[in-house]
Structure 1
């Protein structure tokens, strides 16, 4: 497969113990859900894909993105976006600067500002550019975090239980927003969750550890 995210016989060990072994092919715009008990290694697998595997673990097998083996690519060169349980916005930057951080380099200040303003309008947060992240609701912060990742033009997206702290209504809205945008942009998505409703909403294959 020349496009998408491929986990080719990826095995992660901790000393003599095998933590997990995964084979998966995630096509462009496809959402694959990874489920398992706490401690099964779900977040460790995401760290491996990102290139941030802690030194206590060892990984074998291959992680391929659009046909390219990522083994020799630094984390920042992999162009893989990730969303966590917490939005992790920069508290010392306003909303516009947080979004601007996700933009690729290049373009004039005016062009970059216009892209930020358009992105805010796209997620229903017009006039939020100058807001302090501390004043945002959980749902607003989650939308900003999502848009910051999307503005970085990732080639793959990892979701580490990003909906778990949202109430039921906001959770459903955010799931639809994330999944619809990933499909529209043909971005392969690997989602870690404990929630069966997340997996059902993703409407894709489910891997169990």
Structure 2
């Protein structure tokens, strides 16, 4: 089975109403963009991929990541990371503490080194002790990205991840996320309603219909 993320004959329904029918392979370092109006099922697709689909929906098909069928696995064992439009940083933890949340194992010194390297990678060297409330929206997005990447995911899901950023921060953060995914050979599925996001991603685009949920 090919490396990357395979969405194999996935169909999602709510009651008798079909929402999603998708059969695609996302190669490492490639972004598959899913577009459509609000309520069409874009986020529902991501919920299915990561294993958090609401019981109100029914689904069939397979989710295969790097040759491993993860369809029946719990979220924590699927090897996928997800970024939302809200950064969801823990307000009671420092920037470094938020990043430590993504780490598993290793002694304290090794964890500090990984956190410092992660912050340096996204231009935030020395931010370990900063309160998340004191950093900008773009910086918070970078911290969220690195917290997720420190968990070593094998695929990345983006749920309107750039929609709350202003134009300048959106462009730079988007470029950072896509460059990081390519550098780490991560397949990416991005849902968005913004054509500029799709153009920046540079990969295939799927447009879902306007059937309401």
Q: TM-score normalized by structure 1?
A: 0.97
The runs of 5 or more residues in structure 2 that have no matched partner are 209-213
Equivalent in the alignment of 1:29: 29
Q: Distance in 1 between matches of 2:135 and 2:54?
A: 32
The runs of 5 or more residues in structure 1 that have no matched partner are none
Q: Distance in 2 between matches of 1:98 and 1:26?
A: 30
Q: Distance in 2 between matches of 1:63 and 1:48?
A: 9
Equivalent in the alignment of 1:160: 159
- Aligned to 1:199, what secondary structure does the other structure show? helix
Q: Distance in 2 between matches of 1:35 and 1:19?
A: 13
CA deviations over 1:143-182 (Å, ceiling 9, x no partner): 1001111111100000001111111111111111000110
Q: Distance in 1 between matches of 2:66 and 2:28?
A: 9
Q: Distance in 1 between matches of 2:178 and 2:71?
A: 28
CA deviations over 1:78-104 (Å, ceiling 9, x no partner): 11000000100011111101001112x
Structure 1 segments, 4+ long, off by >4 Å, are none
Q: Shift in Å at residue 188 of structure 1? A: 0.2
Equivalent in the alignment of 1:96: 96
Give the number of aligned pairs: 208
- Aligned to 2:181, what secondary structure does the other structure show? helix
CA deviations over 1:17-53 (Å, ceiling 9, x no partner): 1111111110111111000111110000100001000
Alignment of 1:111-190 (within 5 A): 111-190=110-189
CA RMSD of aligned residues (A): 0.9
